[in-house]
Amino acid sequence: MELSLDKFLPYPLPPWEHDFRTLAVHCACDEASLRRFIPAPFELVSDRIQVAVMRFDCQVPDRLYYDAAVIALVRYNGMTGGFWPFAYNSTDQAMSGTREIWGYNMKLAEMEIAESEARIDASTRRLGKTIISVSMKPTGEKIETLDMFPRLFLKLTPDADSAEGVRQTVVKLDTRPEIQSHATGTGEVSFEPSQDDPLHLLKVTNVFGASFTTGHQILPWGQALR
């Protein structure tokens, strides 16, 4: 019996499904410092970003994993959505799957979220650096946020036989979650300088607050826009 191609892949095919816990700090940064990390054909819409660390307790795939990201609002052909100029994942399975299926520009890193009644902290470590540190003190105060859905990704697929042959596909992914709980409060964010992961070059000018959200989410097949 021949091995089917989907069984040969190191990750399951969509839909993926999980329960999630997301700590996000909502802030603004110097527009020029952000724009340098937004590739064509996307157009930066706002200087507002979310810096998030996410835990996914999965049904598909079968291993728990974390994501961390800087999420920016971009426009493509009149459509707006959330693009991840910096993106990290905690397992080889989810990192390769999200990158090869939808175009998440993932790197492998270590992440954790620590929860208490008084404070929630999350961090992302890579190559000996704590490249993302975010925290929230729950207060219930109202904070101003942007809608970062749907997701828009630039999927790059290098050819095997040519340095010039990188195929580009813009992928739209509708992943709007089912929210189960949502708390808000004051937020803090910092980036340890790293030559390999230059998030510290983003010049944060204002922190509006933080949110901690739990819920359920399905990652379906994406839509190739070009």
pLDDT at position 219: 97
Of the candidates 81, 69, 107, 63, the one whose C-alpha atom is nearest the C-alpha of residue 196 is 107
Dist. CA 25–CA 135, nearest whole Å: 8
Q: CB–CB of 93/63 below 8 Å?
A: yes
Per-residue pLDDT of the chain (226 residues; tens, 9 = 90+): 677 877 889 999 999 999 999 999 999 999 999 999 999 999 999 999 999 999 999 999 999 999 999 999 999 999 999 999 999 999 999 999 999 999 999 999 999 999 999 999 999 999 999 999 999 999 999 998 999 999 999 999 999 888 778 999 999 999 889 999 999 999 999 999 999 999 999 999 999 999 999 999 999 999 999 7
Please give the CATH topology (third level) of the domain spanning 16-221.
Acetoacetate decarboxylase-like (2.40.400)
Dist. CA 96–CA 124, nearest whole Å: 18
Q: What is the pTM assigned to this prediction?
A: 0.96
Residue ranges covered by each domain of the chain: 16-221
